[in-house]
Structure 1
Amino acid sequence: MEKNYKLKVFFIFHSLLIFCLFIRFFYVQVSKGKKYFDMSMKNFTVERKIEPPRAIFCDRNNTIIADNIHKFDLIISTNKRKRYLEITNKIKEFIPDIKINKYNFSHILKRNINWEELCLIERLDIPEVYTKQDYKRVYIFKSVANLIGNLVTENRKLSSGLESFLLNKIKGKEGIEQMKVNAFGEILSRKATLNPEQNPPVQLSICMSMQNKAYELISETRIGCVLVTDLKTGEILVSASHPSVDTNNFNQDWNDHIKNRDNPLLNRVSSGLYPIGSIMKIFATLYLLENNIVDENTTVNCDGEFTLGNHTFKCWKSHGQNINLQKAISESCDIYFYTMSKKVDLIDYLNFLRKLGFQSKIDVMHNEKKGFFIEKKRYYLYEKLLTLIGQGFFQCTPLELTLMMNRFLSNSNLDLKILKNENSEMKFENNDENEKPLFSVKNIEMLGLAMKNVLQKSKGTAHYAWIINKKPDMGGKTGTAQVCRLSKEEYGLSIHKKKWERREHSLFCGYLPSDNPRYCITVVTEHDNLAKSIAIRLSKYIESIL
């Protein structure tokens, strides 16, 4: 009897256990079957993002500037050391320069394999070894290296120049590759479930024929930059900075770049800060005219010196008696502006420069810097003297200087553009009829004549360079910016007799044609005096191709 009772208890216990297991199996396989099936499939399949090729850069004439070419990386994926060594030893017989890792058995064996190596891997047909297709960025012209920038790392996470600034326009839609793996993480099969999509080409306003010529000319000096803009549309036609880098070999030459004293990584157009020297006299004169402080008949006497307290400020030469506004610009007389500085409210003058574009956000290039000036409640007279001739604490980028000159020459709130817009000229012309000029037309014409005389009058500061470079039809203004206080021995010395780091910067802002300005040219050369020569020769080239 007792034996039958134990059998009955044993039978009931086993029945309950089997029933519980059946209920659990039913719950897992039927009630939650879809959930656990999806979880198992996630363990069975792995998704990898496929980077899309970046959009092509081209210039205003559809000349390709930056393109993509196919490249293939050789990858191994296993978690067994013995199998890893077996595969790598086999591949090494045919591709000896693969990378071996003692601890990680899933990695890139070799980047950018050639077609022969690709065909060989396909023939070997090793499941744990596969090739990953990617794209390598190729830059066609060195002349736009600092403008376009580059992809800094192999995984394309860091970039500079327009590669970074226009990222949303050039980065396409990512694709997805689905891979089936076993319990050991080994890849069994692969297929693309979503192909990557490339964005359409990005057309810049740059003109490559002008760009290449400008870079050729600016390469004659050790450090410098060139900007050319269209005064009707605000489009940037040339943006060249020298020295620059070979963007196709950027990663390999990184150490050389960062050790280079001339800083080839810097785009001086948007990130270089310079005192603008006598080019400031254009804006200072416009301010004096607009505020009725001077007129075309106002004159001063220039004996080459201006005394303030116990300090003597010098002009670059003695200009003589009765120097009027026209001569003060064309012959670059400092004494004229020293004399007028007493009547200038410097805070009001800075606001006037901001109206022209000083310290404004231009937003057309990567890593743009803003102009610099020490602001305070009260300024001393010597600070006014230095500011009105473009020295002292005032600094701005060539990009800002070009914007200021564009607004002055077009007499409008013209903005700069780096992207080609086919309707930009039409929009500008339609708005021009109703837009109120920023300044008096008479004052703009008076300054335009003075800038024309800088080149075409015998005593103009750029007359000799204009004569020897075949007299292009243009106007402009030269500028010389001191980088340090000169010793008595250095006064009067030619620029090439001074130490390189103590030489002055030279600048030139010009326009062409002289009677109906269409193009604005800005050139800056560091510790050299070639700016006006480069600008005039570039103007002659622009004349020849138009």
Structure 2
Amino acid sequence: MTKGFERLSMDQRLERVRVLAVVLLLTLMGGLGYFQVLRADRYVELASRNRLRLVRLLPPRGVITDVNGAPLAVNVRTFDVKGYPMDLQKPENRKRVVELFRRKGFPLDEATLTEMVEKQYVAPYRAVSLANNLTLAQVADLVADPEFSSLLFPFPVWRRVYPAGALVSHVTGFVGEITREELESAADARYQGGDGVGKTGIEAFYEGRLRGDVGEEAVEVDSRGRRLREVSRREPARGEDLRLTLDLGAQRVAAELMGNEKGALVVLDVQDGGVKVLYSSPTFDPNPLTWGISSREWNDLLKDPARPMMDRCVSGTYPPGSTFKAVTTIAALEENVVNNHTTVYCPGYYTLGNRTFKCWKHSGHGSENLLEAIRDSCDVFFYQTGVWLGIERLLKWSAILGVGSPSGIDIPGEASGNLAGPAWKKKRFREPWYKGDTVNYSIGQGFLLMTPLQLARVYAAVANGGHLVIPHLNSRERFPRKDLRIPQSGLRSLQRGLEEVVRSGTGKRAGAFGVTVAGKTGTAQNPHGDDHAWFVGYAPVERPRFVAVALVEGGGHGSSVAAPLVGKILSYLVQHDRKGGTGP
């Protein structure tokens, strides 16, 4: 009896021990699940708070230079003030930071600080920037404050500077802070909020090359954020340098020639399409845009009626006027509509049905052949030629010569122009195409629109023997040209006419600067004011090297306003080319 009772008592105690062991095991497992699963992120954060900090090391962007090595976009050292989200998410710390910045003259409030942290947030231990582009003196003043070291730290960074300023702003473009929309569309892990990104020009087009690769530093810190040791470091990789075909000296001459006029000056190498000058007036200084301007200043710049942000060379579209007669000539010769002996009588006007189209010379030119009509820019000759040719053949050769299509230049924002034909007019105005529309097209008026760059490309093909080049700014890339297979006899007829334009015709003022020039004047109707003035020419005639286009908005006559600009810029480039001063 006694032994039975003792055995029962022992079994009960063992059962209690087993139950207690199970309870303890379940408690332990529950605790592990709670701390390692449900609260894992919190404790990783706490561990990281006491141990690890990551700092992104942004690379210096590649340097941009002109063809002779003159700097167009370089980097300078400035300082950012950074902090960690895990510290700045605490209301008391945000208040201390705001008070610190205000004491030092930096306008900041808690709402703005919170927004800055959220915009750049990636991880609680990855630093974010609170102030950018500080000088050494500004940083020294901040660091001296007792509140600074416990929450913030200075960080050296590279910032973009444009030594040539407004002179090449449409070419280089500028770097600005990446927007939320750009960050979402980039789909590139190298970018984060607060980073700089190319916005326009070369900076935008070659962003992938210029940016380089981001580095990273991991450091171990104590519970107060004090650095203990470097855990790892991956150095940033500098961006690729770009050497442009642009000649800064010639660009400066172009700016001086344009003065306060609105318009564009473009110069290309006729053989390979390298851009020597790309100057749009008025212009803007990219440096304040890179370093930061207010939203009001930005809006004022965008709303400026002079439109300084628009690159008129590649984005401005205008009726080409009589400069288009070169296209009409090529089309007519290739389609055997006219030849060197074809003559048209010009009484000063051309009658088509019940409409009368006037020649610029109201008294008329009399009987003129092709060469004389090009030399004198006789509208009546080309009116008749356009009617003989017909719109479809004129459109065909216009397209072959690149009219109505982007040239492929390596900067963003290029316009296509408008090579509108019967189908376009029917869709747009619900009207048929009339012969009068073709008459207008034959002298570069009507619905036809071109950019200065497109016109330079057409005349480069005339000068180089019928090869359509791709205008470009990157000197280290090869851009193939297209053989248009135009018979040299037809091109030579046009070339002789363009030579006569400058020798004894409407473009004489382009040939007064020491080099032989061939080219064409143009005066295009402007619905918003005075006529636009055009001149396009190439030099030297005996061995063409450069083609130049000048457009002066509302300038009036191309012969008196635009022709001297082209003559002077071509003279500068040809003379420097002979001395070996324009690069390869």
Q: Tell me, in whole angstroms, the C-alpha distance in 2 between the residues paired with 1:62 and 1:336.
A: 48
Cα distance, 1:39 vs. partner? Answer: 8.9
2:523 counterpart residue number: 480
Q: Deviations over 1:433-470 (max 9, x none)?
A: xx96621212212211211111111xx1122x246x44
Q: Tell me, in whole angstroms, the C-alpha distance in 2 between the residues paired with 1:22 and 1:470.
A: 95
Q: Deviations over 1:346-385 (max 9, x none)?
A: 1122121111112334222211111213233563210110
From 380, 405, 410, the counterpart of 2:459: 405
Q: Deviations over 1:389-435 (max 9, x none)?
A: 000011111122122221222112332222113888xx98xxxxxx9
From 269, 285, 291, the counterpart of 1:230: 269
- The AA in structure 2 aligned to 1:539 is L
From 522, 531, 546, the counterpart of 1:504: 531
- The AA in structure 2 aligned to 1:73 is D
Q: Tell me, in whole angstroms, the C-alpha distance in 2 between the residues paired with 1:371 and 1:345.
A: 21
1:12 counterpart residue number: 18
Q: Tell me, in whole angstroms, the C-alpha distance in 1 between the residues paired with 2:484 and 2:130.
A: 65
Alignment pair present for 1:414 and 2:469: yes
Cα distance, 1:178 vs. partner? Answer: 3.1
SS of equivalent residue, structure 1 residue 391? coil
Q: Tell me, in whole angstroms, the C-alpha distance in 1 between the residues paired with 2:377 and 2:264.
A: 23
2:207 counterpart residue number: 167
CA 1:302–1:156: 2 relative to 1, 3 Å: same
SS of equivalent residue, structure 1 residue 502? coil
Q: Tell me, in whole angstroms, the C-alpha distance in 2 between the residues paired with 1:235 and 1:249.
A: 29
From 361, 384, 389, the counterpart of 1:339: 384
2:185 counterpart residue number: none
Q: Tell me, in whole angstroms, the C-alpha distance in 1 between the residues paired with 2:421 and 2:153.
A: 62
Aligned residues between the structures: 511
CA contact 1:225–1:525 (8 Å) conserved in 2: yes
Cα distance, 1:96 vs. partner? Answer: 3.0
1:374 counterpart residue number: 420
CA 1:277–1:187: 2 relative to 1, 3 Å: farther
1:303 counterpart residue number: 347
From 54, 57, 60, the counterpart of 1:53: 60
Alignment pair present for 1:195 and 2:240: no
Q: Unpaired segments of 5 or more residues in structure 1? A: 429-434, 485-500
CA contact 1:451–1:477 (8 Å) conserved in 2: yes
Aligned runs of 1:88-107 on 2, under 5 Å? 89=99, 95-97=104-106, 99-101=108-110, 104=113
Cα distance, 1:541 vs. partner? Answer: 1.9
SS of equivalent residue, structure 2 residue 149? coil
CA contact 1:98–1:110 (8 Å) conserved in 2: no
Q: Unpaired segments of 5 or more residues in structure 2? A: 118-127, 178-193, 424-431, 578-584
Alignment pair present for 1:447 and 2:471: no
CA contact 2:197–2:207 (8 Å) conserved in 1: no
1:390 counterpart residue number: 444
Aligned runs of 1:95-174 on 2, under 5 Å? 95-97=104-106, 99-101=108-110, 104=113, 109-122=130-143, 124=146, 126-141=149-164, 142-153=166-177, 155-157=195-197, 159-174=199-214
CA 1:283–1:83: 2 relative to 1, 3 Å: closer
TM normalised by structure 2 equals: 0.79
SS of equivalent residue, structure 1 residue 127? helix
CA contact 2:395–2:421 (8 Å) conserved in 1: no
Cα distance, 1:298 vs. partner? Answer: 1.2
SS of equivalent residue, structure 2 residue 407? coil
Aligned runs of 1:433-444 on 2, under 5 Å? 438-444=485-491
Cα distance, 1:62 vs. partner? Answer: 1.2
SS of equivalent residue, structure 1 residue 210? helix
Cα distance, 1:47 vs. partner? Answer: 4.0
Aligned runs of 1:457-476 on 2, under 5 Å? 457=504, 460-463=505-508, 465-466=509-510, 469-476=512-519
TM normalised by structure 1 equals: 0.84
CA 1:423–1:313: 2 relative to 1, 3 Å: closer
Cα distance, 1:506 vs. partner? Answer: 1.1
Cα distance, 1:229 vs. partner? Answer: 0.8
% same residue: 24
Alignment pair present for 1:269 and 2:313: yes
CA RMSD after TM alignment: 3.3
- The AA in structure 2 aligned to 1:258 is L
- The AA in structure 2 aligned to 1:541 is Y
1:325 counterpart residue number: 370
CA 1:523–1:387: 2 relative to 1, 3 Å: same
CA contact 1:179–1:187 (8 Å) conserved in 2: no
CA contact 1:179–1:188 (8 Å) conserved in 2: no
CA contact 2:549–2:566 (8 Å) conserved in 1: yes
Alignment pair present for 1:348 and 2:372: no
CA contact 1:75–1:110 (8 Å) conserved in 2: yes
Cα distance, 1:386 vs. partner? Answer: 0.3
- The AA in structure 1 aligned to 2:497 is A
Aligned runs of 1:60-99 on 2, under 5 Å? 60-77=67-84, 78=87, 79-86=89-96, 89=99, 95-97=104-106, 99=108
2:429 counterpart residue number: none
Cα distance, 1:245 vs. partner? Answer: 0.8
CA contact 1:100–1:109 (8 Å) conserved in 2: no
Bigger shift: residues 39-48 or 347-356: 39-48
1:246 counterpart residue number: 285
